[in-house]
Structure formats: C-alpha cells, structure tokens
Amino acid sequence: MSNQKTVPNAVNFLIGGTAGMAATCFVQPIDLIKNRMQLSGTKTSTMKIVSSIIEKEGFLAFYAGLSAGLLRQSTYTTTRLGVNSWLSEVASKDSHPSFLLKALIGSTAGCIGAFVGTPAEVVLIRMTADGRLPFEERRNYKNVFNALVRIIKEEGILVLWRGTVPTMGRAMVVNAAQLASYSQTKEILINTGYFKDNTPLYFVSSMISGLVTTAASMPVDIAKTRIQNMKIVDGKPEFKGAIDVIVRVCRNEGLFSLWKGFFPYYARLGPHTVLTFIFLEQMNTMYKTYFA
C-alpha cells in the first residue's frame, strides 16, 4: 500500500496507457478477427474468418486499424487504469477495500475511460470491419486521424460518440470483472503460498481475470460493435439501441450468438490482460526502483 503511494497519479496514467498500447501491438490481429465474427450475422468460425482474410486481403490486413487501436489505448486505457489507481489509493488510505468496492472502483474507472475512448473505438470498429465489405462500400480510411477528420466532415462530430452508452456499459462490466477479479485472484494465489509477487503470478491472475471478463462482457460487446459499425439508410439507423441489437441477435441468430467469437475474444482479452498487467507491474517496479 505504501509502494502504491510512491507513484504519482500522472505517472499512473502514463504507465497505464503505455502498457495498453504495448499489449495492443501483440493482439491487434485477434481483435480484428473478433470484430469480423461479431459483424458476420451468420454462423461462422475463427478458421473461416482467418482463411478468408488471408485469401482476399493478405497477411498485413490483420493489422488493419492498428493506429486506431493504439489511439484507443492511449485514451481509454490511460484514463481507466489511471483513475482506477487513483481511486484505489484513496480507498486504501483508511482500510483494505472489499471486493465489492474494488468492483465499483473498476466499473467507475471503465465508464470514464470508455467515454474518453469512444471516438477511437468507433474508428477501430470501422477500420477492422472495412475489408469484409464489397470494394465499393468500403470507407477506406488511411489511418485513425484521417478517419476522425472524415467522420466529422461527412457525418458530424457526434457520430464519434455513437454507441457511447453500450460502450460505457461494456466498459463497466469489463473493468468491474477484470480489475476486481485480477486484484482478488492475486490476493488468493499469494495466500496459498505457492506464488510470489512476480511474473508467474501476474500471468495466472490475468488469464483467470480474462476468462471471467469474457463471459460477462460479450453480449454488451456485440451490441456495441454492431451499433458502431452500422450505416444510416434513408435517414434511419440500422439499430435503435443496444437492447434492439441483443433482441434481434437472439431472434435471428440464437441466444448463444451473443457469445459469438468467444474464443478470439478471450484469445484477445486474455493475452491483452496478461500483457497489460505485466507491462503495468514492470513499469511500476521500474519507476519505484529508479525514480521514486
């Protein structure tokens, strides 16, 4: 608890964003596959999506939208991990925070981070989905900044916050599950006596946290993804909101389609959680060793 206080809030924000961006460089292809599966609207599989991308777009297509993914991490992850560290420090001053309080802190941090990161999220969804469209329907954004400028010019600035409510809802579920379960799992594993505060502990805690988070957040995530990628036809949006997406998916594709892409989602979220927390813990340790 005292070590936590040696890291200033500004540094917590910086370290959080940097850790998320570093992790994204490794998992961007899996994120793209997950988004394609959620937008498919039909029964498909990870291997079908992968083979289709390789055949029609080439290997480099797996990194489509990387610039948007990095911007998302620099906004969303910087904010959520920074706010989470700050609120955790405040909550720990007088007593050890309970699991419920940790979940509340995590969901609050996620909600704030999601609002800040929604514009980059909208661009990320569109850029990763573009290759699945017929050539004449593609948006063909050059990079995240070109996308932001074009969206503002062609559709209006408010479109950058399209899907904010389901994005914030997803973030609250993800962060309540991820940050709280990661912290709680670390405590439980250390208390067993088999783990020490080192990389193996971070790895196991992150993989367990990622599994919990995937199961809890996928229905909200698929609603968010489809809303942010939808087009307006004759002045009418494709979906009325997150509930409309979920109802229509259940009716047209089946209840379990809400967990469509579970494997790539977990394959993305698990390693991303692992890498983010490992980078986070290592950078915190380095800061305390060399700067505090």
pLDDT in the model for residue 119: 96
Q: Is 29 a residue whose pLDDT tops 50? A: yes
- Band the pLDDT of 124: cuts 50, 70, 90: very high
Assign residue 185 a region (left: φ > 0; alpha: ψ between -120 and 50; beta: otherwise). Answer: alpha
Size of the chain, expressed as the number of residues it contains: 292
Question: Which of 255, 248, 251 lies closest to 226 in space, CA to CA?
Answer: 248
Report the alpha-carbon distance of residue 15 to residue 55 in Å, rounded. Answer: 38
pLDDT in the model for residue 6: 62
Secondary structure of the chain in HEC code, one letter for each residue: CHHHHCCCHHHHHHHHHHHHHHHHHHHHHHHHHHHHHHHCCCCCCHHHHHHHHHHHCCHHHHHCCHHHHHHHHHHHHHHHHHHHHHHHHHHCCCCCCCHHHHHHHHHHHHHHHHHHHHHHHHHHHHHHHHHHCCHHHCCCCCCHHHHHHHHHHHHCHHHHHCCHHHHHHHHHHHHHHHHHHHHHHHHHHHHHCCCCCCHHHHHHHHHHHHHHHHHHHHHHHHHHHHHHHCCEECCEECCCCHHHHHHHHHHHHCHHHHHCCHHHHHHHHHHHHHHHHHHHHHHHHHHHHHCC
**Residue 227 lies in domain:** 2-290
Q: What is the pTM assigned to this prediction?
A: 0.72
Cβ distance 121 to 167 under 8 Å?
yes
What CATH number is attached to the domain comprising 69?
A: 1.50.40.10
pLDDT in the model for residue 208: 87
- Band the pLDDT of 1: cuts 50, 70, 90: very low
Average pLDDT over residues 155-169: 91
pLDDT in the model for residue 40: 81
Domains: count for the chain: 1
Report the alpha-carbon distance of residue 98 to residue 100 in Å, rounded. Answer: 5
- Selected residue with higher pLDDT from 6 and 225: 225
- Selected residue with higher pLDDT from 197 and 62: 62
Unique residue bearing structure tokens 């505090």: 292
Average pLDDT over residues 45-66: 92
Average pLDDT over residues 255-272: 81
Percent of the chain surpassing pLDDT 90: 31
- Selected residue with higher pLDDT from 91 and 112: 112
Unique residue bearing structure tokens 């993804």: 225
pLDDT in the model for residue 292: 66
**What mean pLDDT is reported for the chain?**
86
pLDDT in the model for residue 122: 94
Report the alpha-carbon distance of residue 211 to residue 145 in Å, rounded. Answer: 33
Q: Is 3 a residue whose pLDDT tops 50? A: no
pLDDT in the model for residue 96: 80
pLDDT in the model for residue 274: 77
- Band the pLDDT of 158: cuts 50, 70, 90: very high
